[in-house]
Structures are given as structure tokens and as C-alpha cells.
């Protein structure tokens, strides 16, 4: 069985906006040793509404994960519970405040050789192995929905004119679509990127693979943010990311 150490970091930048509505966190659990949760939430719906929605996603994730023992429900159940609970609270906030706040969800749990992730909205999870893309989540946008229906010309128009219209997110006025993925054979060199659209919009898969494979999480996060800011040319959205990389274990003899 492969052994590795988990190296991770998070980063955010306000971009060229007046308010930061992205939230990101990496959480460990004293009741579930060896497990790690990474979460990115991109809030929308007015300045305070979007921020509060993203805050709710992160606080719900932290509370549920820290309270979960390894004898409780499965990680799949936890991710679905996280999505449902945050969605409900955001909806209640919307009713009370007469706003329409909502948030994306992109969450990853790793323990030993197992990874499971969940997403709703257009914050993405990328999974690379040996410099190659293994998996990338599909955006829950109107444009992507049209592509899946085979309406590619309409999709191209929608991606230009309605690129920010989400068909699933936490807090919308219907039950959100939450997709789950998993992998059971994690190994040294595997790397995950969770990112809001303010970051991933400026990169193709191969460039992300090259940067994440060549660099450790901290250096990679600094490089990605610097490139995104340069390419935004003063019109950049909030951006946030979490990187989780499985690296070789430290040498026993210090060599």
C-alpha cells in the first residue's frame, strides 16, 4: 500500500470587487483522526447576502465534520447532510431578509487512500494524477445544461451572455442538485484543486496540471493567484482555492 503525507493550503483574493464573498477552509476532526475536509464556497446575492451564504456553508461544514466520529455515518452521508443543512439555513435567511442569497459548494474529504467530493454550482474540483486530469466536476450552469442537451450553439451564446446563471446552488428556490464523486486508490503525486470561477476561468486543464504537479501547494497557490490576477486585467472576480496534494513521506533517516 502506498504511504504518503497530505500537504494542503488555502488562498483567497478579493480580485477587483469591493467585497469578498468567497470563503474557503481546511478542517480536521479530533474525533476522526487522519481525515481532512476542504471546502470552497462562492456566495452570491448582494454584498452581505452572498457573504453570509458562503459563511453558512463553511460553518456548517466545520461543525458537522468536527463532531463526526469514525463510527458515525459515512462521509457520503456527511457531505449530503452538509449540503442539505446549509441550503435550508440559507433559505430561511432569504425569507427573513427578503434577499436571494445562495452559494456554491465544493467539498473534498480525504482519509487514508480514500477521497470523496461533492459539488453544487460552478466552483470546481480538479483531480490530477501523474500530471493528467482524472476528474473535473461539471458546472451547474445554464450553459452547461444546454450542452448536456446537445444544444451547443445555444450553449455558446449562453456562456457569453448568461455565464453566471446557475441551475443548482445552495439557497436557490428549489432542491439543489448535489453531485458526489469518489476514488479509492489514492497514491503519491495525486493532487486536488478546489476553486471558485474567479480562479479557474483563466486556466485550461493542462496548465493547471503542470503547475500543481511541479509545485507544492503553497507555491502553486501563489502562482495561480498571480497569473489569474494578471489575466483578469483589472476586471477580476473574487477568487479562492484549496489545494490538497499527496506527497512522499518524510525520510526516516533524514536523507
CA distances (Å), origin 227, targets 97, 108, 207, 214 = 38, 24, 11, 16
CA pair distance 31, 102, nearest whole angstrom: 30
Mean pLDDT of 232-251: 93
Q: Is the pLDDT of residue 210 over 50?
A: yes
The pLDDT of residue 71 is above 50: yes
Mean pLDDT, the chain, integer: 89
What does the pLDDT read at residue 45? 80
Q: What pLDDT is recorded for position 147?
A: 63
Secondary element (H or E) of residue 208 = helix 205-214
Lowest mean pLDDT among 4-13, 26-35, 150-159: 150-159
Q: What is the pLDDT of residue 100?
A: 82
Q: Is the pLDDT of residue 67 over 80?
A: yes
Q: How far is CA 245 from CA 79, 175, 248, in A?
A: 21, 33, 10
Please report the DSSP string for 112-171 in residue order: TTEEEEEEESS-EEEEEETTEEEEEPPP-BHHHHHHHTT-HHHHHHHHHHSTT-BSS-BT
Second CATH level (architecture) for the domain 5-140+166-247:
4-Layer Sandwich (3.60)
- Span 8-27, mean pLDDT? 96
- Whether the per-residue pLDDT at 144 is higher than 70: the answer is no
pLDDT of 185 higher than 60: yes
pLDDT above 90: residue 143 = no
Lowest mean pLDDT, pick from 40-49, 129-138, 176-185:
40-49
Task: Count CA within 13 A, CB hemisphere, residue 171.
Answer: 32
Does the structure show a pLDDT above 80 at 216?
yes
Amino acid at each position: 500500500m502506498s504511504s504518503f503525507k497530505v500537504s494542503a493550503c488555502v488562498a483567497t483574493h478579493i480580485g477587483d470587487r469591493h467585497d469578498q464573498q468567497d470563503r474557503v477552509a481546511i478542517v480536521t476532526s479530533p474525533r476522526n483522526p487522519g481525515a481532512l475536509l476542504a471546502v470552497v464556497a462562492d456566495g452570491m446575492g448582494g454584498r452581505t447576502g452572498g457573504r453570509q451564504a458562503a459563511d453558512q456553508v463553511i460553518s456548517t461544514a466545520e461543525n458537522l465534520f468536527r463532531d463526526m466520529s469514525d463510527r458515525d455515518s459515512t462521509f457520503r452521508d456527511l457531505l449530503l447532510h452538509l449540503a442539505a443543512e446549509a441550503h435550508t439555513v440559507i433559505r430561511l435567511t432569504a425569507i427573513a431578509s427578503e434577499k436571494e442569497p445562495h452559494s456554491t459548494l465544493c467539498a473534498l474529504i480525504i482519509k487514508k487512500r480514500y477521497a470523496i467530493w461533492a459539488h453544487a454550482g460552478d466552483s470546481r474540483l480538479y483531480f490530477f494524477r501523474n500530471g493528467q486530469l482524472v476528474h473535473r466536476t461539471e458546472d451547474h450552469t445554464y450553459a452547461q445544461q444546454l450542452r448536456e442537451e446537445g444544444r451547443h450553439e445555444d450553449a455558446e451564446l449562453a456562456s457569453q451572455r448568461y455565464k453566471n446563471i446557475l441551475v443548482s446552488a445552495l439557497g436557490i428556490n428549489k432542491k439543489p442538485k448535489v453531485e458526489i464523486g469518489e476514488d479509492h486508490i489514492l497514491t503519491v503525486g495525486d493532487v486536488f484543486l478546489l476553486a471558485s470561477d474567479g480562479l479557474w476561468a483563466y486556466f485550461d486543464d493542462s496548465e493547471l496540471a503542470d503547475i500543481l504537479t511541479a509545485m507544492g501547494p503553497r507555491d502553486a497557490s501563489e502562482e495561480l493567484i498571480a497569473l489569474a490576477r494578471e489575466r483578469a486585467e483589472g476586471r477580476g472576480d473574487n477568487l479562492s482555492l484549496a489545494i490538497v496534494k499527496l506527497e512522499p513521506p518524510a525520510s526516516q533517516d533524514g536523507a
